[in-house]
Chain A
């Protein structure tokens, strides 16, 4: 009977497929982690693929998700490397140790600036971190220093020097590494400078943290999702709005949007590299040393990543928007990578 044949044939196919899949040796590097580092790691992966090694598979899971997968264990079922838009956390490191991932090589690959930008046709913004805090925090210190719900409706309410536009900020959602970095780099240090807040930090660090970590939810700040291209499109359509995203998107869209200067620093390549632009963060790649020699090409991957032609001043990653490390730091990273120096508990 035709039908029965079909059914048994498909059952057979399925069972063989399930049987062979289990523990098979892997000859392709697997990398997980941050969507911010993803564009850079994919470029390195592609270069590596041209040298005769199978092109690594790079998956964009977000920094936290990537770390979880990375630290889950050693062996071909687990990824060989993880991208991170922030440094590995102590908890994640301990998790790794517990699961047997004891030899982790840390590669600091460069910087990414976080840009506050608006459409070319919109007004020019020159802001400080305090002003950004006052515009975006859920609660700000009132006239008497007590916390009140954020009353600022337009940028002019925040500071007379700013344009009289409604506050409308499109930014990353809470799950994003960019949002974490923005909170730490802008909101935290912005809050510290305000009257009374430094005292609050001393008196009650938890309460202070809650203040700078809370973004207003009355419509002035809009979660725009993880897709930065969409934010750029929305800014173009609405010149009054301001967006928050990674520097590479500003660089690629200079014909449509312009970056605001923060604390007097313009978001340019040179300023981020020299530290004159204050809102920038280092990017990392973590590699399992235990996989070197097990999965072919892991050492080659590290070598390619820290090579001058990748993360150097004129490297192909700088063309993709990565801001390179200063030369001496880069030399140190390359040196550590060469010897596959592992991360110890004393680093935290």
Chain B
């Protein structure tokens, strides 16, 4: 043992005022740094909350849908043209007419052609599909009266959800006497409503009296003139209510008449709102109320499947060869540099490559998940190779050496010992690469996956779109109801991503091993 002799001539100065000041300064710097860190996280969190909050609030209307519940007289002459109740006859029947008749009996006053058309506009142009299916399931209903739910049109649906105009209702003082029950009538005895101009640029004003709706078109000398939108029960003097539609008629997509009808249906308790299952069970449609996400979801699923089937074996095999077997020379260096560069190439380039190679050279069909999957496989292959190599490299050399030491061949050591241990890392890398591919839109535009496709694809060879492309397509349509659909599709895409990332975390936790 040798004694340790202190050679230092300068003792540590920890007590002098200068030293204390230095320490305090260091502590202050650390506190500042921690504050910056928290501020940065807070900043990022605020953005995230704003983004998600915005998307979710916009999407809410898309997740519910409105129906009108009607008692429909199933007229055999209309729905069963051949009269034999056979499926072929029933499928060719006219289901719109009975539904329109049912609406017309509920909402009297639609006598001329224009108002009959407005009446038909309330319900979706394909809203009778469910009704048809109901009759097809049970042909004995022909000739009877059936209660059925009919989907409302997109504009009517938005009004029901409160996105068209605010409706204010106030009780009137005193009683009013109407001069008639239909057509243009006068109302006497009303307290002077300001004699403002009642034009289409002003909010619409209605008087509700004796069960009817009267739209005010003029006021003078304590007398109101108005058009009857819903017939009055009688001409007795009665209590009244004032209803104002805040958004002027010219500035909204639903006419005054349609709103009166919808309000009336609502008061009769015939309008129901339910969860929009249709959104998850049907393909795209040009009608906002019918458009669903299933086609795009299946398309994305098929695309991902093709990508995975190509990427995982090819990527892992490449990584194993490069990491474990390849000699270290100029060629492997060159390959490595190229793989790293490819991982950073913009995705649109892969789209152009796919267009040139798969579509133009091999003649594969446009708009199919097969080509989409191939292109995305090229896109994520470098990522997977890099991640897999890192995972293989992280397995301690002692594992390899142990296997070799008991007589395993190099290949056996890799496949029996190293690869299973590297698998969690490889899978995590793969799933993150797949998540990247899932959100990719640009390469898919070039190979024709930006298409209007109604039928849900049943194989990777059918024409299809993918989720991000569906979002892109819906965001460009003029109907207001498609804005909600766009946001809802974004939420579905985010959910898909959450599930994939959750799977990555689960796999890592399940198989991870620490040394």
Contact = CB atoms under 8 A, between A and B. Distances in A.
To the question of whether A and B form a pair in one complex, the answer is yes
A42 interface: yes
A314 B113 CA distance: 11
Interface string A182-202: 000000000000000000000
A55 interface: yes
Contacts of A20: 461
A60 B480 CA distance: 20
Interface string B45-68: 000000000000000000000000
Nearest to A41: B452
B253 A252 contact: yes
Given A42-B286, A46-B285, A252 B480 contact: yes
A22 interface: yes
A246 B477 CA distance: 11
Nearest to A248: B478
B460 interface: yes
A181 B316 CA distance: 52
A17 B317 contact: no
A213 interface: no
Interface string B447-473: 010111111000011010000000001
Given A20-B461, A60-B452, A320-B286, 17 more contacts: A3-B316, A6-B312, A10-B309, A10-B313, A21-B363, A22-B363, A22-B364, A39-B477, A41-B452, A42-B452, A46-B287, A46-B454, A57-B452, A226-B476, A253-B478, A254-B253, A255-B252
**Interface size range of chain A in the complex:** 35 or more
B478 A252 contact: yes
A20 B368 CA distance: 13
Interface of A: 1, 3, 6-7, 10-11, 13-14, 17-18, 20-24, 28, 30, 35, 38-39, 41-43, 45-46, 49-50, 54-55, 57-61, 77, 120, 226-230, 246, 248-249, 251-255, 314, 316, 320-321
Contact of B451 (A58, A226, A230, A321): A58
Interface in B411-451: 415, 419, 448, 450-451
Nearest to B285: A46
Contacts of B362: 18, 21
B323 interface: no
**Interface size range of chain B in the complex:** 35 or more
B236 interface: no
B256 to A, nearest CB: 14
12 contacts: A7-B317, A20-B461, A21-B461, A43-B286, A45-B452, A49-B455, A55-B453, A57-B463, A60-B452, A253-B478, A255-B164, A255-B251
B478 A6 contact: no
Nearest to A59: B451
A230 B477 CA distance: 11
Given A10-B310, A229-B475, A254 B252 contact: yes
Contacts of A59: 366-367, 448, 450-452
Nearest to A319: B121
B225 to A, nearest CB: 27
